[in-house]
Amino acid sequence: MKENPSRLAYGIAIVAGTALWLTASAIGGKAEPWDSSIYWTVAYPVAIVLAGFLGYVFPQRPWRWAVVVIFMQAAVMVIAGSGFGLLPLGLILLTVLSLPAVALAWLAAKVRLRRGEV
């Protein structure tokens, strides 16, 4: 049976994204990671780099990995007990925040494909 690399990439993105946002929430002492300064100085930049790494390693439709990593924050916020009242606004913000991660994942995938490593 042929292994599907997308499943592995999704698994890494889900687990790493969840761990990143849970860690940012715990260290920052906030239910929503972006309410903590550690989010903007550590967690968000790490999420962007993670998306780029996944885009390089799994270059087929690399935007998916960035979206999953960033949007796992919504899952963490719901699980942590944040209300649904601001969820639509939060999803819009996460969409905007995912753009740099999508761009880096796409660029990393393009570099890998240009090198002919796939």
Q: What pLDDT does residue 8 have?
A: 93
Q: End-to-end distance of the chain based on CA atoms, in angstroms?
A: 20
Helices within 29-116 (DSSP H only): 37-38, 44-57, 63-79, 87-115
What are the domain boundaries of the chain? 5-113
Q: What is the mean pLDDT of the chain?
A: 89
Q: What pLDDT does residue 117 have?
A: 67
Dihedral sign for Cα atoms in the order 38, 14, 63, 70: negative
For 22, counting Cβ atoms within 10 Å of its Cβ (0-12 exposed, 13-18 middle, 19+ buried), the class is: middle
- Give the tens place of pLDDT for each residue, 17-71: 999 989 998 898 887 788 888 999 999 999 999 999 999 999 999 999 999 999 9
